């Protein structure tokens, strides 16, 4: 039994539950948390990119959680290839009674071992297995389950999949190295950690250029020629933690669970005389991710770092800045002639993004807060078709009921901000319900079995 680490979250005062019910509104913009806040954008190993929670078609009795970190990884970034932070605590959090407090947590801690510090090389020859002596840099991790004051170590010294360097250095990467880094633990738990292709897809370049949508360029206030969407994440990797656990470990009486992930750093770092450093003191939350979009686009710059340091149970503090979001007001200006529902968006945006939808994925005793909410009792459907509309088209095992890898959250959220959903019938019409960034699928096909994400791009093959 280990001592549960003390954690510190720096937050402001509570603003009130009535205000919290309208905390979130969708704005025209990216639906991922790549570089979402000023401080964590300078700390990529602690920076979340995306969170997913779903029931996979091949594992209907389990919940699968996917957390990605380190945005915009360049596969060719050697000789010091990307890796998880040895001084970062990574967590998945599950609320199973609707009170916005974690009832079950899974912690991941990493450590790096360099076999030969006298060479600059990541590998000294072809790496054909995780224990190949030619692999010079190894990273290992532990997995701990936390329920209240009870802490159970599920595994130690699991190895992270190495960097995909190229055909000479890491031959048969997907078939050997990645498979060896996929672990089946006791009680039906599976886990994987390592680099993968970034599963998020969006036209970031156009979206952040004053809310541009290339297929709708001529309708923009600053008109350009119509063009196909461009995936700004194509060819990029992330570092992923994938955890699959039986439903019974995370679900209580209510089949709906709320999920978010956190990154923590120690409060104090001490530099030793030999040049090494150690970290101690309280764990301080530096990054948080649940629903896509909220911190990156909805929360204003001055509150983003505070949002990252806060817990969902304290989300009422952010209500004042998002009751009437800046970008939501800009939509009719950027796209003249498009009208959107007036704030506050209590009939559509709040249930979709903040409380869950009644009768679908809203907990019985919900406290409004920002997290993914998943009804684990809904049978999953196959992933053969990329899903652009998810629940909004009647496919209720997709976003915003949890989030699958195939869900096109950008298009879903664009249409939600414009009112193009059944929740606001007067606005559920063209063009409101047809908005798109023109990027409708990932650049690589997802796997149909654990760990589901596509293999990472190799440095040699970097586009």
Q: What is the mean pLDDT of the segment spanning 81-94?
A: 96
Confidence of residue 11 (pLDDT cuts 50, 70, 90): very low
Span between the terminal Cα atoms of the chain, in Å: 47
pLDDT (0 to 100) of residue 420: 87
pLDDT (0 to 100) of residue 322: 46
Burial 370-401 (b: 16+ CB within 10 A, else e): bbbbbbbebebeebeeebbbbbbeebbbbbbb
152 — phi, psi (to 5°)? Answer: -125, 120
Check whether the bond before 344 is cis (ω within 30° of 0).
Answer: yes
SS3 state of residue 273: coil
56 — phi, psi (to 5°)? Answer: -80, 145
pLDDT (0 to 100) of residue 16: 31
pLDDT (0 to 100) of residue 425: 92
Q: What is the mean pLDDT of the segment spanning 192-221?
A: 94
Inform me whether the pLDDT recorded for 155 exceeds 60.
Answer: yes
pLDDT tens digits, one per residue of 406-460: 999 888 888 888 888 888 899 998 888 888 999 999 999 999 999 999 999 999 9
Q: What is the spatial distance between Cα 271 and Cα 268, in angstroms, rounded to a whole number?
A: 10
Residue 288 or 194, more confident:
194
Q: Which of 16-25, 92-101, 317-326 has the highest mean pLDDT?
A: 92-101
pLDDT (0 to 100) of residue 417: 81
Which of 105-109, 235-239, 384-388 shows the lowest per-residue confidence on average (mean pLDDT)? 384-388
DSSP 391: G
Which of 222-236, 289-303, 351-365 shows the lowest per-residue confidence on average (mean pLDDT)? 289-303
Inform me whether the pLDDT recorded for 22 exceeds 70.
Answer: no
Helices (H), 144-201: 179-180
Query: Using CB atoms within 10 A of its CB, is residue 6 exposed (0-12), middle (13-18) or buried (19+)?
Result: exposed
Q: What is the spatial distance between Cα 107 and Cα 142, in angstroms, rounded to a whole number?
A: 8
Check whether the bond before 431 is cis (ω within 30° of 0).
Answer: yes
pLDDT tens digits, one per residue of 64-81: 999 999 999 999 999 999
- What percent of the chain shows pLDDT beyond 70? 82
Q: Which residues, in sequence order, are CB contacts of 424 under 8 Å at separation 6+?
A: 341, 347, 348
- What percent of the chain shows pLDDT beyond 90? 58
Q: Which helix (H) or strand (E) holds 283?
A: strand 277-289
Inform me whether the pLDDT recorded for 177 exceeds 80.
Answer: yes
Q: Which of 16-20, 169-173, 272-276 has the highest mean pLDDT?
A: 169-173
Residue 449 or 14, more confident:
449
pLDDT tens digits, one per residue of 108-128: 999 999 999 999 999 999 999
pLDDT (0 to 100) of residue 35: 59
> Which strand ranges, in their side-by-side order, compose the sheet holding 48-54?
48-54, 62-73, 237-246, 190-197, 182-184
Calculate ∠ Cα 202-205-207, nearest 5°.
Answer: 70
β-pairing verdict for 277-289 and 7-8: parallel
Confidence of residue 277 (pLDDT cuts 50, 70, 90): low
Question: Contact, 25 vs 346, CB < 8 A?
Answer: no
Confidence of residue 148 (pLDDT cuts 50, 70, 90): very high
Inform me whether the pLDDT recorded for 28 exceeds 60.
Answer: no
Residues in the chain: 463
Inform me whether the pLDDT recorded for 388 exceeds 70.
Answer: no
Strands (E), 25-184: 48-54, 62-73, 88-95, 104-114, 137-147, 150-159, 182-184
For all residues of the chain together, what is the average pLDDT? 85
Q: Which residues, in sequence order, are CB contacts of 282 under 8 Å at separation 6+?
A: 6, 7, 8, 266, 267
Inform me whether the pLDDT recorded for 276 exceeds 70.
Answer: no
Residue 162: both structure tokens together: 């190495």
pLDDT (0 to 100) of residue 363: 95
Residue 322: both structure tokens together: 């998002």
pLDDT tens digits, one per residue of 129-140: 999 999 999 999
Residue 249 or 301, more confident:
249
Question: Contact, 303 vs 310, CB < 8 A?
Answer: no
Inform me whether the pLDDT recorded for 370 exceeds 90.
Answer: no
What residue segments make up the domains of the chain, in order of their start? 8-448
Residue 127 or 267, more confident:
127
Confidence of residue 463 (pLDDT cuts 50, 70, 90): confident
Question: Contact, 315 vs 288, CB < 8 A?
Answer: no
């Amino acid at each position: 039994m280990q001592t549960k680490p003390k954690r510190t979250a720096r937050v402001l005062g509570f603003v009130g539950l009535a205000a919290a019910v309208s905390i979130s509104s969708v704005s025209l913009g990216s639906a991922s948390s790549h570089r979402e806040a000023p401080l964590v954008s300078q700390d990529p190993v602690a920076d979340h990119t995306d969170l997913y929670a779903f029931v996979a078609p091949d594992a209907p009795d389990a919940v699968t959680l996917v957390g990605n970190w380190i945005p915009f990884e360049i596969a060719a970034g050697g000789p010091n290839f990307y890796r998880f932070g040895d001084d970062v605590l990574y967590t998945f959090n599950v609320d199973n009674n609707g009170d916005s407090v974690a009832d079950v947590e899974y912690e991941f801690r990493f450590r790096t071992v360099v076999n030969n510090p006298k060479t600059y090389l990541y590998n000294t020859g072809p790496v054909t297995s995780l224990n190949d002596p030619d692999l010079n840099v190894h990273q290992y991790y532990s997995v701990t389950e936390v329920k209240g004051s009870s802490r159970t170590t599920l595994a130690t010294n699991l190895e992270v999949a190495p960097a995909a360097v190229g055909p000479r250095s890491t031959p048969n990467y997907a078939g050997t190295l990645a498979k060896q880094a996929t672990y089946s633990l006791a009680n039906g738990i599976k886990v994987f950690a390592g680099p993968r292709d970034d599963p998020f897809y969006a036209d970031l370049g156009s979206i952040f250029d004053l809310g541009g949508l290339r297929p709708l360029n001529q309708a923009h206030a600053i008109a350009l020629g119509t063009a196909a969407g461009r995936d700004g994440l194509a060819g990029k990797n992330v570092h992923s933690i994938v955890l699959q656990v039986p439903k019974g470990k995370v679900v209580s009486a209510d089949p709906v669970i709320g999920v978010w992930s956190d990154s923590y750093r120690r409060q104090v770092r001490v530099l030793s005389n030999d040049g090494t450093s150690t970290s101690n003191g309280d764990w301080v939350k530096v990054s948080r991710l649940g629903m896509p979009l909220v911190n990156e686009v909805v929360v204003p710059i001055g509150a983003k770092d505070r949002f990252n340091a806060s817990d969902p149970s304290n989300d009422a503090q952010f209500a004042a800045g998002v009751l009437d979001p800046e970008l939501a007001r800009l939509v009719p200006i950027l796209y003249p002639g498009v009208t959107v529902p007036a704030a506050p968006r209590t009939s559509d945006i709040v249930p979709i993004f903040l409380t869950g939808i009644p009768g679908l994925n809203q907990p019985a005793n919900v406290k409004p807060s920002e997290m993914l909410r998943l009804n684990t009792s809904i049978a999953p459907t196959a992933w053969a078709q990329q899903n652009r509309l998810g629940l909004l088209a009647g496919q209720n095992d997709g976003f915003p009921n949890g989030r699958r890898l195939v869900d096109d959250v950008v298009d879903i959220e664009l249409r939600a901000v414009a009112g193009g959903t059944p929740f606001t019938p007067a606005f559920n019409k063209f063009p409101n319900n047809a908005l798109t960034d023109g990027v409708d699928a990932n650049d690589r096909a997802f796997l149909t079995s654990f760990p589901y994400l596509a293999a990472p791009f190799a440095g040699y093959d970097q586009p």
